A and B are shown apart, each in its own frame.
Chain A
Amino acid sequence: MTEKLPNQITLAHGAGGKQTSALIHEIFAKYFDNPFLTADDAAVLPRPGRKIAMSTDGFVVSPAFFPGGNIGELSICGTVNDLTCMGAKPLYLTCAFIIEEGLETAKLDQIAKAMAETAQKVGVVLVAGDTKVVGKGQADQVFITTTGVGELLSGVQLAGAEAKPGDAVLVTGDVGRHGCAVLLARDTYGIDAHVTSDCAPLWHPVSAALEAAPDIHVIRDATRGGVGTVLYEIAHQSHVGIRLNAEDIPVDPAVAGVCGMLGLEPLYLACEGRMVMIMPQERANRVIDAMSAYPDTQGVCQIGVITEDNPERVVMETAIGAQTFLPEPGTELLPRIC
């Protein structure tokens, strides 16, 4: 930790003067350094050869640190994965911090470090940023907004409306782990279970899948609302039904246990490193082979199929061979998980 910064962030660090530049220099420049990140008012960037995709996302997770990650890592994964879903290689990111007065400087350092490491893993650079400090109680430790630009791969056409009857439905790993980890980290329930977030940037495994099967129809990251919400969105957009086999849905036993106690459905708990992918059935094995070679997607598997029946609904084939609807995403008060 640096000597030039006090132990806590104060309002002066956001005032634009000497202390702001100390903060930028000692934390952000230290971790984010690259040729595009300058002291000027905007980053000047080379133009990509193909179409670009652009996305933005705000991160307010509470608590900011949870087993398996922190808000910094999450803020990179979220935007990288949004670009990835469109088949766009993430190139540039910007980030804006809103910091609550009194945040420990060491925590901010850890957050920035996690951002830099996650960005490096994907090969994306942080080209511009902003820092504001607000009074005690006006934010919860730190909020981060990231915006990303990516370059579309050629030959891919991904959209939520592209799912076709007969297609295979895959998830890239066990479901609901991030949401469960954050719930437990809040310690509201007094449940002692070891669950770590699945938070991960998925560009590399997804680009491998697209290389193996460029005709994948839909890719969605199952963040807020979980896999269940994403499936309902796709069913609505494509006017199709989705049939899942309950026994094929991968759930970590600890997550299943916590959900059992609290009456939660794992399919509605957030993930931060899981994609729902829909493709012609004959491509499914090729995609599974390509993705299972990567640690973050080694649990990739097929959980169901797209159907003409029950349009705009998700049907579960249960363990005893009956069929029930997966309840539509409800109006429960869900905690802030991203």
Chain B
Amino acid sequence: MTNHQHGLSDSLKKAIQYLKTYDGPPVRIMEVCGTHTHEIFRQGIRQILSPKITLISGPGCPVCVTPGGYIDRAVALAEDCGATVCTFGDLMRVPGTDKSLSQARADGADVRIVYAPEDAEKIAVENPDRSVVFLAVGFETTTPSACLAVDHAIADGADNFSILTANKTMPAAYEAMKDSTDIFLYPGHVHAITGMADCRKMEKEGVSGVVAGFTAGELISALTIAVKKFEAGETFCVNAYPRVVTETGSLEAQKLVKKVMEPCDAWWRGIGKIANSGMKLRETFSDYDAAVRFDLPETIGKDNPGCRCGDVLQGNCRPVDCPLFGKVCTPEHPTGACMVSSEGTCSAYYLYGGVK
């Protein structure tokens, strides 16, 4: 009936003690995944770490790294092209140059929150006279479901369905961020899909990392492995989430994505263009590409000049160092994307941090 777990296991207690009292060379560990960031704050894991261990929150929240220009295009789809725009709820309040999707909806546009891309495809099937666009953002974990929705639309003859892609891939981000950290805490869910190959490749390049799960115990244990191996001076790649992550990953998902999409250059908010870090629909599926169908121009969008989301995403500053943090920029009235998303670093700082 309850989640009572009074008393931690002895091994977990030992691990906590190790991380608390670690006195080796200073070490920076970057968690690349927004869900990790959120869980690390929710569990208060930073508080138990020795001052020699620094956690950096990387660019792993798909909403946070989606550029303002993407929101502008989505708003244009809903307002100027008269499309029904379907999106994950997190994107609703991300500020665009002029307005957010939430504001567009208030102004009368047809913007709907869905929980899976397939729900958007269903809406298209049920409303053959409407153009229905799904906003495909996300990493390797969500890209397969967007591909599946396209696959279903073809099978259902739903040619009024399309997706606006801003899908991103992790390996390019690892490459771009590898100088900002000593160790990566790799996202377990991403590697459940892609397998361990990308992490092994980083190891060969001399970049260390541990694939981690998402509970307090899994995070503590991954951090302990990372710091111990770092202290021993090794370059390493460890799968600390073997109950979910296998060496090969999900071959079925990989095959589906390969069939429907191909790599492309992509814009990351605050970081800029990273070569081959995005995914777009293959030419043969371009009928389902909203950017092609509606001939949408590429726009970069304008961010609030005071907002330091870009630096936060790269671990160059803490949210509390941003002049807007907690003053003009709050979860209720977000200025930057890192405050909008529940997985954003600024939001996690704001919601959980500062206990006296």
Partners in one complex: yes
Chain A interface residue number, banded: 20 to 34
User: Which residues in window 271-325 of A have CB below 8 A to B?
Assistant: 299, 309-310, 313, 315-316, 318-325
Closest-CB distance, B315 to chain A (whole angstroms): 21
Of A63-71, A116-124, A242-250, the stretch lying at the interface with chain B is: A242-250
Option from A251, A313, A315 in Cβ contact (under 8 Å) with B2: A251
| Cβ contact within 8 Å between A324 and B355 | yes
| Cβ contact within 8 Å between A333 and B89 | yes
Interface residues as binary, A85-129 with B (CB distance below 8 Å gives 1, 0 otherwise)? 000000000000000000000000000000000000000000000
* B331 close to A (CB within 8 Å): yes
Q: Which residues of B contact A333 (CB under 8 A)?
A: 89, 113
Q: Which residues of A contact B225 (CB under 8 A)?
A: none
* B51 close to A (CB within 8 Å): no
Q: Which residues of B contact A251 (CB under 8 A)?
A: 2-3
Closest-CB distance, A11 to chain B (whole angstroms): 29
Closest-CB distance, B334 to chain A (whole angstroms): 10
Q: Which residues of B contact A188 (CB under 8 A)?
A: 115
Option from A189, A190, A253, A323 in Cβ contact (under 8 Å) with B355: A323
| Cβ contact within 8 Å between A331 and B42 | no
| Cβ contact within 8 Å between B43 and A324 | yes
Q: Which residues of B contact A327 (CB under 8 A)?
A: 351-352
User: Which residues in window 16-74 of B have CB below 8 A to A?
Assistant: 16, 41-48
Q: Which residues of B contact A263 (CB under 8 A)?
A: 342
Q: What CA separation (Å) do A15 and B39 show in the bound complex?
A: 56
Option from B2, B6, B45 in Cβ contact (under 8 Å) with A320: B45
* A221 close to B (CB within 8 Å): no
Q: Which residues of A contact B41 (CB under 8 A)?
A: 324
| Cβ contact within 8 Å between A324 and B4 | no
Known: A249-B3, A309-B356. A325 touches B342 (CB 8 A): no
Chain B interface residue number, banded: 20 to 34
| Cβ contact within 8 Å between A248 and B351 | no
* B332 close to A (CB within 8 Å): yes
* A37 close to B (CB within 8 Å): no
Q: Which residues of A contact B48 (CB under 8 A)?
A: 320-322
* A330 close to B (CB within 8 Å): yes
Q: What CA separation (Å) do A258 and B326 show in the bound complex?
A: 31
* A252 close to B (CB within 8 Å): yes
Option from A252, A310, A319 in Cβ contact (under 8 Å) with B356: A310
* A174 close to B (CB within 8 Å): yes
Q: Which residues of B contact A252 (CB under 8 A)?
A: 1
Closest-CB distance, B224 to chain A (whole angstroms): 12
Closest-CB distance, B21 to chain A (whole angstroms): 14
| Cβ contact within 8 Å between A320 and B331 | no
Q: What CA separation (Å) do A174 and B3 show in the bound complex?
A: 10
| Cβ contact within 8 Å between A320 and B342 | no
Q: Which residues of A contact B12 (CB under 8 A)?
A: 320
Known: A320-B45, A321-B48. A250 touches B2 (CB 8 A): yes
| Cβ contact within 8 Å between B1 and A299 | yes
Interface residues as binary, A169-191 with B (CB distance below 8 Å gives 1, 0 otherwise)? 00000100000000000001110
* A256 close to B (CB within 8 Å): yes
* B297 close to A (CB within 8 Å): no
| Cβ contact within 8 Å between A324 and B3 | no
* B216 close to A (CB within 8 Å): yes
Q: What CA separation (Å) do A174 and B115 show in the bound complex?
A: 27
| Cβ contact within 8 Å between B4 and A320 | no
Option from A248, A322, A331 in Cβ contact (under 8 Å) with B331: A331
* B8 close to A (CB within 8 Å): yes
Option from A190, A256, A322, A323 in Cβ contact (under 8 Å) with B3: A256
Option from A250, A315, A324 in Cβ contact (under 8 Å) with B42: A324
Known: A251-B3, A319-B216, A320-B216. A189 touches B115 (CB 8 A): yes
Residue of A with least CB distance to B331: A330
Q: Which residues of A contact B1 (CB under 8 A)?
A: 174, 250, 252-253, 299
Q: Which residues of A contact B2 (CB under 8 A)?
A: 174, 249-251, 299
Q: What CA separation (Å) do A134 and B5 show in the bound complex?
A: 52
Residue of A with least CB distance to B7: A247
Q: Which of B43, B44, B351 has the most CB of A within 10 A?
A: B44
Q: Which residues of A contact B16 (CB under 8 A)?
A: 320-321
Known: A247-B6, A249-B3. A322 touches B45 (CB 8 A): yes
Q: Which residues of A contact B4 (CB under 8 A)?
A: 247-248, 250
Q: What CA separation (Å) do A239 and B12 show in the bound complex?
A: 37
| Cβ contact within 8 Å between B3 and A253 | yes
Q: What CA separation (Å) do A331 and B47 show in the bound complex?
A: 27
Q: Which residues of B contact A249 (CB under 8 A)?
A: 2-3
| Cβ contact within 8 Å between A320 and B220 | yes
Q: Which of B3, B12, B48 has the most CB of A within 10 A?
A: B3
5 new A-B contacts at CB < 8 Å, known A256-B3, A319-B216, A322-B47: A174-B1, A318-B44, A321-B48, A322-B44, A323-B44
18 A-B residue pairings within 8 Å (CB atoms): A247-B3, A247-B4, A247-B6, A250-B3, A251-B3, A256-B3, A263-B342, A309-B356, A310-B356, A316-B44, A320-B44, A321-B16, A321-B48, A322-B47, A322-B48, A323-B44, A324-B352, A328-B351
Please give me the 5 A-B residue pairs with the lowest Cβ-Cβ distance, nearest first: A322-B44, A327-B351, A250-B2, A322-B47, A324-B44
